[in-house]
Chains A and B, each alone.
Chain A
Amino acid sequence: MRINNFQELERQEMEQRNVPTNIKNSIDAQVGFFQFVGNLFELFIPRMVDLFANKMSTKNQSENSKSKYPNQ
């Protein structure tokens, strides 16, 4: 088998060190935040649009009814 001390050096270095756990925690926190923002958009934007559309339609309805029945 061909000797490759570059890979052996990497293997030895990997054995000697551990990846600090705070890296994973920070990534988790960031991903959690992105997911939260994503969910916020996914949940609230359609609701806001619905609400806006409802508002507009009721406004139009009331305006229409006003013009149809001015004395009511």
Chain B
Amino acid sequence: MLNFLITNFLNPLITGNIKSSLTDEEVISKYLSTYDKKYYSILYDRYSNKVYGKCISLLKSESRAEDATQDIFIKILMNLSKFSGKSKFSTWVYSITYNYCIDLIRRKKKDPSVLMDNIADKHDPIEEVNDQFLLETNIKRLKIVLEEIPVGDKSILLMKYQDSLSIKEIGAMLDKSESAIKMKIKRAKLKFKKVYSEKYKD
């Protein structure tokens, strides 16, 4: 009886309070000191929707996204002790998510060019596309254009505009220099505008 009461009434109350009051870093430190399931459940509840959404968006398949989300969370749990706290936990989670998905796509397509440097294009002058153009694109159109552009370009635009990551953070995430990331963003924006202009002539 007491067990029933604790499981059904007390635990949800306690977990609910923990959920709202602890920061990610506090939850991680509690998880690492106790290995109690309720702490990683809090992290899962906070990030599973975003991770799953990113996986669907990049992998374009619900079943692959499910497998990927599962693998990503296992990876996060296994490496939780390596999280140094230099960046925000969310940035670290997204970094694992993007790298996992990009790696999966690269292996599936056997195409190493996903998010790799294109040396031949490096010195070409690139037209600057205004941020406002991307940010204010109609949501339906935005979704369609993001589906059409290469996954490498899509990922970098999502990192910058959806997750609001800085150039430095994206660079650290993809192990590239800040100037290389700036160039990639420029190219991705240009690709976005090109596809948009081809689809919507108005």
Residues of chain A whose beta carbon lies under 8 Å from any beta carbon of chain B? 2-10, 12-14, 17, 19-20, 22-24, 26-28, 30-31, 35
Not counting A23-B48, A27-B77, a sample of 17 additional A-B residue pairs whose C-beta atoms are within 8 angstroms of each other reads A2-B135, A4-B135, A4-B161, A6-B134, A6-B157, A7-B162, A9-B162, A14-B49, A17-B49, A17-B56, A22-B66, A23-B69, A23-B73, A24-B44, A24-B48, A26-B70, A31-B37
B185 nearest CB across to chain A (Å): 13
Closest to B44 in A: A24
Contacting pair B162 A19 (CB below 8 A): no
Q: How many A-B contacts are there with CB distance less than 8 Å?
A: 68
Contacting pair B142 A27 (CB below 8 A): no
A47 nearest CB across to chain B (Å): 21
Known: A17-B53, A23-B52, A35-B35. A9 touches B73 (CB 8 A): no
Q: Please report whether the interface of chain B is mostly helix, strand, loop or mixed according to DSSP.
A: helix
A43 nearest CB across to chain B (Å): 15
Roughly how many angstroms separate A28 CA and B40 CA in the complex, as a whole number? 10
User: Is B172 in the interface zone, CB < 8 Å from A?
Assistant: no
Q: In the complex, which residues of chain A have a beta carbon less than 8 angstroms from the beta carbon of B137?
A: 5
Q: Which 8 A-B pairs have the closest CB atoms?
A: A6-B161, A6-B162, A19-B48, A19-B52, A4-B135, A26-B70, A3-B136, A27-B73
Contacting pair B142 A5 (CB below 8 A): yes
Known: A6-B142, A27-B74, A30-B74. A19 touches B161 (CB 8 A): no
